[in-house]
Structures are given as structure tokens and as C-alpha cells.
Chains A and B, each alone.
Chain A
């Protein structure tokens, strides 16, 4: 009897595979696959077309190359040039350095401050009610739109914290006093970044073993030492997430740069500010130059992503 029950299913499946009905099912499975991959390819196309268009436009001559060649396709040799890339790089190089000057410190400091704050409202021991209140403030902070703070922000830096006066000693030694704007940008981005960094780190620290931290406390480590020797080394994946996110935000920001530095002709103009005016003139827009400029300005964010990519994946998954 047990033999019969064991052989039954296999006989059935053999029959099934010979059956024409099951062959049509094989076809239907395959058809759904075709639709699926077709859809995926289409979506990929939607995402890649802007980048592709940008790339091919950036190597066309202006204005003849743009107007006389087919869009979306690489230009024929007589309309091909790398001149726009050179031009764009020359125009943007100063801005790239300026952007790096405030983006890197702002990214690192906001991530570090967020990590410390999150440690304070998760693993440190004080009243849960106060922790919740503080967290609510940070969450609210994430949702304040840039536009809402523009006026208070410019007033703050011009009236209440006149950095330009405070840093007067720097201007004496020959640094352009527009660089005060970069310090302002840096501080503003740190302040604006702390809430989101804190909330990201908080969810990460919440899931960390409480017993592990308690064990470290019993091992004689103070709160500060626990952070330094246990929490910080274990935060690498989250730091990758936060660094990538913050760097992209700060590097790409235009609005605060417009308010605090204002002029693209300034010595201290960030890359986004220069990019905004790149290839714009009374004769019309120089699209190849604008495209080349956009790619050059985007390179650092890409580089950061490549550098921390592996940790980023780990941090997002956790």
C-alpha cells in the first residue's frame, strides 16, 4: 500500500508533462515573463533616457549640432566635440572647490552630531517621556521646508550672527570676504541635517542589543567610552547611508546657496550657483555646455556613492 501511494504522484506528473494542456501552461508562463521583462526594460529606458540624452547633447557643437542632428542619437563626426566639457570644467572648477569646502565638513559633522544625539535618546538612560519629546522635535525638524526658513535664515546671518564681522581677521590676511558665506552655508546645513541624521541613527541604535551596552557599562565603561568603543565602530553601515544622503543633499542644494552667497560671480560661489547660470546668454541657451556642466557637477556625489556603496547596502538592509 505504501508503495502504491509513493508511486502515484510521479506517474501523475509524467502524464502531465506529456499532456498538451500543460504545454500551453508552459507557454503562458513564458508570455507573462515576456511582459514582465518588457515592462522592466521600458522602465529602465525611462530612467536612462535623460542621462543618455544629456550625454549625447554634451558632445554636440552649439548651436548647429543641436539644431541639425537627431535628438537622442550620438552626433555624426562633423558635429562632435569635447570642447564643451573642457569649457564646463574650466567654469565649474572654482565652484567645485567651494562646494567641497562646505559640503564635506557639513556632511561629516551633521552625521556625527546625528549619531551622538541618537545615542543620547536611545541607549543613554533618562526619562523616556523627555526622550519622546525630543524625538518629536527632531521629527518635526525634518518636515520644515527650506522655503519657510529663507527670510529668518538671512536675517539670522545678517543681524544676529554677523560672521563677516567676526571673521574679519581672515579678510585681513587676503581671503575674499565672500567666504563667510561658505561658513554660513556649512553651519546652516549642519543644523538642517541633524534631525534627519538623528532619526536615521535612532532607528539603527534602537535595534542594537541593549544587553550589549549594559554589559559594556558593567565592564566599567562610561557612557562616553561605550559610544567610542562599542556604538561608533558598529555604526559604519549607518554612517555610509547618512554620509551619502547628506552629501547629495548638501552638494546639490541651490536655495541656501542663493540666499547666503547669492552671486555666481562671487569668489566663493558654490558649484550649483555657477551651474545655474552656465551657458545662459542673450543669444540663447548653450545646451551642450549646460549638459556637460551638469555631469561634471554630479561626479562627486557619484564618487561618494561608489565609495560607500557596499556599506550603504548593508545599512539600508538593516
Chain B
């Protein structure tokens, strides 16, 4: 087993005379046995990055290292990497057994008996032992997915690459496979790079997540760090559902001011802003508390616009007077809030994030310890 390192990896596509930078100077390291999820909106370069690691795209600049070995110019078949594709890419004319043995037959000179034994072991582990003689077209989507995974596992590669492997499954099966895949990766302890656009998959599966946008690496950190201490406004908005509220503000003395309200800041937060003038105030919906009457310095009168009951919680869209931009808050599902009601939205200072408006960089983040403390007090 070995780790995988990308060093200043860049991919430029030539589109006629135009150059399109798909992957822009990405450096990251995936430790031995680590599960890294690469996440971002479509077109952010995550799949291109994965395909470069697989050897399916050439590298424009930079280096890909597997252990100590630079594999930039290695052919895909010599990289000892297994990839699971979104479409599963099973060989339609071969049985499940044929699909799973293909890799071992092509890449090793293992005797047939041993191949057959390994295929059967993995098939049993994946719960497809009784499907070995079927053709892919005779299998359900979930079963095909298992065959695709099994085909990668049986090769016992240095690295697993997965390109949105769960996105063709229905919602229920997807969450089931998510758990299974996570358990499997833990058992096998193989370095894994997993690409998805789904932030739930990113948050739940990864040891760490790498967030990409516009071909650039925005942040690479543990899921909790990305959630509580986003490096910039993009990460803050991308991770979390419903996404973080952003309010454009000006720094005015020791307070943030907008047309609708003034948000006084404590000394610590004010200090971290430096000499920034235009900032964005960020607050997660679950940090906004809804109260009946004004209280404390960070409570603001708002009108309830829409309430979306989700069962366990309600998503409430609040409006400051005279603006269209809603402030989203989540409350307990049992709480009765009616549309049109005037309520007080309390935005606690220990839960706010402040981003520099021109660059989007985080100037101040909520501290994880603070997040922990509020959780405990809520219990």
C-alpha cells in the first residue's frame, strides 16, 4: 500500500486556439489507506483530476506520484490503479465472472485456479456470489454497481479511483451503498480517491475532503473543518444544507452595517477583520435562533415568508423589511411558526463567519470549540 501525491498538477485543454484550464495547479497528498473525497460543482475539474491520475488524460504540468514513483508518463495499464466508473462500464458480452477475472487475466500471470478463487471470494464478500454466471444486462442497477466495485477490488490495486459511482442509483440504494462502501474501504484499507458532486457523500464518507471550484483547490480538510472553518465563501456555501446565509455588510467602527441592520462586533472578531471594509457576514441556518420578542444585541425583527416542514425540522425563510434576500433558519420540527408572522431572528456572535467581500477569503470563522459548546448546551 502506498500514498498518492499530486504536485502542482495542471491540465490545459486546447479548444481550437483557446486554452481552457480545467485543472489549475492542484497540490494534495492522500495518505496510505486514506479515503479522500474530491467534491465540487460540475465542470470544476474533479473528474479531469481523477482521469489524470488514472492515466486517461495527459498531464500538462506538474507531477503525480504513487509512493516514490512518478507515474505521469506511465500507461494506464501499468499504474496498478483500479477505477470504478459512473456508468459501471461493465463488459456486456462477459458474465459477471468474466468481468471480474478480466483484470487479473490481463495484468497478472496468475494461474486460472487462483483467479477463480479470488473472484469467488470477492463476489461472496460483495454478496453477488450467486450471480457469477449472469450477464450484466440481467442484473439490476445495484447489482451492476456491486460487480463494478468487485471488479476493482479483486485486482487488489494500490489505489482505488471512483468517479461518481453512486449517482446512477436511486436515493435509498445510494445511502445504503454509501455506508457499505465506507465499511469496505475501511476493511480493505486501500488508498481511495472518490469524486462526487454530492456534498452528503463528501461529508459522510471521506476521511478528508478536497473542494474544487474552477479547477482550483479551495480547501482540503476533514469534513468537520470544512463545515465549521471554511477557507472561503465558496466552501462555506457549498458545504451544508440548506446552505449558509450570506449578508453583504460594511465595516463601520466596531460594527457591521448594512441597509437593513447593524451588527455590533466583539473585540476578538473585530480584531480578526483587520482593515477590510466590504465584508460578507455568514451564518448557518441552524445557528439562527427564532424568538418571539426582542432580546440581546443580535436580535432582529423579520417577517416569516415561507415555512418548509421537513418533519424533524422546519426550514424557515425570513425577510428583513424592505429586502428580497431571505435569511434562512432551521428550527425544530415541532415548533409552530406561521407564514406572515413577525419574529425575532437572533444571530449569535459566536456562530458567525466573516468573509472578505472582494476575495471571498475567510477573515473570521466560528471556532470548532464554540460549536461544540453550543451543542452541549442545547442538549
Contact = CB atoms under 8 A, between A and B. Distances in A.
B106 A211 contact: no
B234 interface: no
A209 B144 CA distance: 16
B60 to A, nearest CB: 16
Interface stretch (B74-82, B244-252, B291-299): B74-82
Nearest to B155: A219
Nearest to B54: A218
Given A218-B81, A219-B155, A234 B92 contact: yes
Contact of A220 (B86, B92, B103): B103
B107 interface: yes
Contact of A217 (B76, B86, B108): B76
A176 interface: no
Contacts of B75: 217
A229 interface: yes
Contacts, number: 61
B106 A209 contact: no
A215 interface: yes
B103 A209 contact: no
Interface string B280-308: 00000000000000000000000000000
B320 interface: no
Contacts of A234: 92-93
A233 B92 CA distance: 10
Interface in A205-261: 209, 211-212, 214-222, 225, 229-230, 233-234
Nearest to B91: A230
B12 to A, nearest CB: 16
B168 to A, nearest CB: 12
Given A219-B103, A219-B107, A220-B107, A214 B90 contact: no
Interface in B99-142: 102-103, 106-108
Contacts of A212: 89-92
B93 A218 contact: no
A294 to B, nearest CB: 40
B54 A216 contact: no
B83 interface: yes
B87 interface: yes
B92 A217 contact: no
A229 B83 contact: no
Nearest to B157: A218
B91 A216 contact: yes
Given A218-B83, A225-B106, A211 B89 contact: yes
B368 interface: no
Given A212-B90, A214-B56, A234-B92, A220 B85 contact: no
Interface in B18-72: 54-56
A34 to B, nearest CB: 43
B223 to A, nearest CB: 28
Nearest to B92: A234
B77 A219 contact: yes
Contacts of B82: 218-219
Contacts of A214: 54, 56, 76, 83, 85, 89
A264 B28 CA distance: 77
B85 A211 contact: yes
B156 to A, nearest CB: 12
A215 B106 contact: no
A230 B136 CA distance: 14
Contact of B76 (A209, A218, A233): A218
Given A211-B85, A214-B76, A214-B85, A219 B102 contact: yes
Contact of B93 (A219, A222, A225, A233): A233
A97 to B, nearest CB: 36
B87 A209 contact: yes
A218 B50 CA distance: 13
Contacts of B107: 219-220
Nearest to B93: A233
19 contacts: A209-B89, A212-B89, A212-B90, A214-B76, A214-B83, A214-B85, A215-B89, A216-B91, A216-B102, A217-B55, A218-B77, A219-B106, A219-B107, A219-B155, A220-B78, A220-B106, A229-B102, A229-B106, A234-B92
Q: Which 4 A-B pairs have the closest CB atoms?
A: A220-B107, A219-B103, A220-B106, A211-B89
Interface of B: 54-56, 75-79, 81-83, 85-87, 89-93, 102-103, 106-108, 151, 155
Interface of A: 209, 211-212, 214-222, 225, 229-230, 233-234
Given A214-B54, A219-B103, 9 more contacts: A212-B91, A214-B85, A215-B85, A215-B89, A216-B106, A217-B55, A218-B56, A229-B106, A234-B92
